[in-house]
């Protein structure tokens, strides 16, 4: 492998991580408060929910698909968890997972069996689930409060100054890495995204793999919503609008190709943290409103996509 190839490949896979390290370094030097533990902890904690959803999205995008319903499912999961918490911890977890899993199954079956475009199917899911959530909460007028202390502790309890969701995210990310890199299922996801027709000819169960990917994405979105409800002690209905786009942005910034077939969990986690750090840095600057965070994230995303295009061209030439 030539050194040029090596460089372009490393950039593709670990570019987000490298930029993240650079930004953290710059931030630490520029702002005293940036590197303080409570600031770092708040970035990590608030990123963890996005990260959980992004793990599922990584599988979806590598398989060549897209899942627009995760923002709505995140909210639905939160509302159902808060509602279910009056019946105890178990219901507070099972209810959102069951509901979201079902939506994911439905979307997955439609996409895999009819060959309809994932964009359209999950857009329908986004709208449908949002409507369902509004109906459950009387158009947002009713906010369910988390009644069960054990469930609330799941979102608020701390070890070493970091809340439980951070550890849950780390655990899920590690499991997802093994699943993606070291199991037949993971290989099938790459193969389908890389060349679906070839995958089918190589004996990959295309339909069932796709269904599993969408179920997983929906389950993780629901879980993130439930954990968020536990953290906030209520099922807030106004969050989560447009969240799917942040998730997709994080995954793509992390080096996963939107066209499918390549990518990974490490990059996604780096991408999520990168978005969090950009937000935090803009808060430090002070006189910039947080709206600028989106401008910067958008610019960064554009940069990454252009860079990916150039890198893959460079790889093909060499």
Partner 1 sequence: MEPVLEAKGISKRFPGVLALDGVSLALHPGEVHALVGENGAGKSTLIKVFTGVYHPDGGELLHQGRPAVFGTPMDAQHAGISTIYQEVNLVPMMSVARNLLLGREPRGRFGVIDAGAMYEEAGRVLAGYGVETDVRRPLRDLGIGAQQMVALARAVSVDARVVIMDEPTSSLEPREVGTLFGVIRRLRDSGIAVMYVSHRLDELYQVCDRVTVLRDGRLAHTGQLAELERLQLISLMLGRDLGEVRGSGMTKFSRDRHLAAGTSVDQQAEPVVEARGLTRRHVLDGVDVSVRPGEVVGLGGLLGAGRTETAKAIVGAMPIDGGQVIVGGLPLRGGSTKAAIRAGVSLLPEDRKAEGIIPTLSVRENIALAALPSLGTAGVVSDTKIDRVVEIFMRRLRIKAASPNQLVSELSGGNQQKVLLARWLAVRPKVLLLDEPTRGIDVGAKAEVQALIDELAAEGLGVLLISSDLEELVEGADRILVLREGAVVGELSGDDVTEERIMATIAEQADG
296 vs 314 by CB, closer to partner 1:
314
- The CB-of-150 to partner 1 minimum distance in angstroms stands at 31
The helix/strand/coil state of 249 is helix
199 vs 253 by CB, closer to partner 1:
199
Site for partner 1 in 231-270 (CB under 8 A): 261-262
Q: Which long-range contacts (CB under 8 A, 24 or more apart) does 42-47 make?
A: 42/280, 43/273, 43/276, 43/277, 43/279, 43/280, 44/162, 44/166, 44/273, 44/276, 45/162, 45/163, 45/165, 45/166, 46/276, 47/272, 47/273, 47/275, 47/276
Site for partner 1 in 178-207 (CB under 8 A): 178, 181-184, 187-188, 190-191, 194-195, 197-204
Site for partner 1 in 1-60 (CB under 8 A): 1
Q: According to the binding rule CB under 8 A, does residue 164 interact with partner 1?
A: no
- The CB-of-271 to partner 1 minimum distance in angstroms stands at 19
Alpha-carbon span 257 to 216, nearest angstrom: 19
128 vs 194 by CB, closer to partner 1:
194
- The CA distances from residue 177 to 172, 174, 187, 241, 303, in Å, are 9, 5, 12, 28, 26
Site for partner 1 in 279-318 (CB under 8 A): 316
7 vs 202 by CB, closer to partner 1:
202
Judged by the rule CB under 8 A, the positions of this chain that interact with partner 1 are 1, 178, 181-184, 187-188, 190-191, 194-195, 197-204, 261-262, 316
């Amino acid at each position: 492998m030539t050194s040029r190839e090596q460089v372009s490949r490393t950039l593709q896979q670990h570019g987000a991580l490298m930029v993240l390290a650079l930004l953290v370094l710059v931030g630490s030097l520029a702002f005293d408060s940036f590197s303080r533990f409570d600031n770092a902890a708040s970035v990590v904690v608030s990123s963890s929910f996005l990260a959980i959803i992004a793990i599922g999205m990584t599988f979806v995008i590598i398989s060549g698909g897209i899942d627009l319903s995760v923002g709505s499912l995140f909210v639905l999961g939160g509302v159902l968890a808060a509602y279910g918490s009056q019946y105890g911890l178990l219901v507070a977890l099972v209810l959102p997972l069951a509901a979201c899993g079902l939506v994911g199954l439905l979307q997955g079956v439609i996409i895999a069996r009819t060959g309809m475009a994932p964009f359209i199917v999950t857009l329908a899911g986004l709208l449908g689930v949002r409507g369902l959530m509004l109906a459950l909460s009387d158009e947002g007028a009713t906010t369910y409060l988390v009644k069960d202390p054990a469930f609330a502790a799941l979102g608020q309890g701390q070890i070493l100054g970091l809340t439980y969701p951070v550890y849950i995210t780390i655990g899920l990310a590690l499991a997802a890495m093994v699943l993606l890199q070291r199991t037949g299922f993971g290989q099938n996801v790459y193969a389908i995204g890389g060349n679906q027709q070839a995958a089918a000819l190589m004996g990959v169960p295309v339909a069932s793999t796709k269904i599993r990917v969408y179920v997983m994405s929906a389950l993780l979105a629901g879980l993130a919503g439930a954990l968020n409800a536990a953290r906030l002690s209520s099922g807030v209905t106004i969050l989560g609008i447009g969240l799917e786009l942040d998730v997709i942005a994080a995954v793509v910034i992390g080096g996963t190709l939107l066209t499918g077939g390549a990518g990974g969990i490490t990059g996604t986690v780096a991408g999520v943290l990168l978005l969090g750090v950009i937000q935090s840095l803009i808060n430090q600057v002070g006189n910039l409103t947080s709206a600028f965070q989106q401008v910067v994230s958008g610019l960064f995303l554009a940069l990454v996509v252009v860079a990916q295009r150039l890198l893959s061209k460079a790889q093909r030439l060499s």
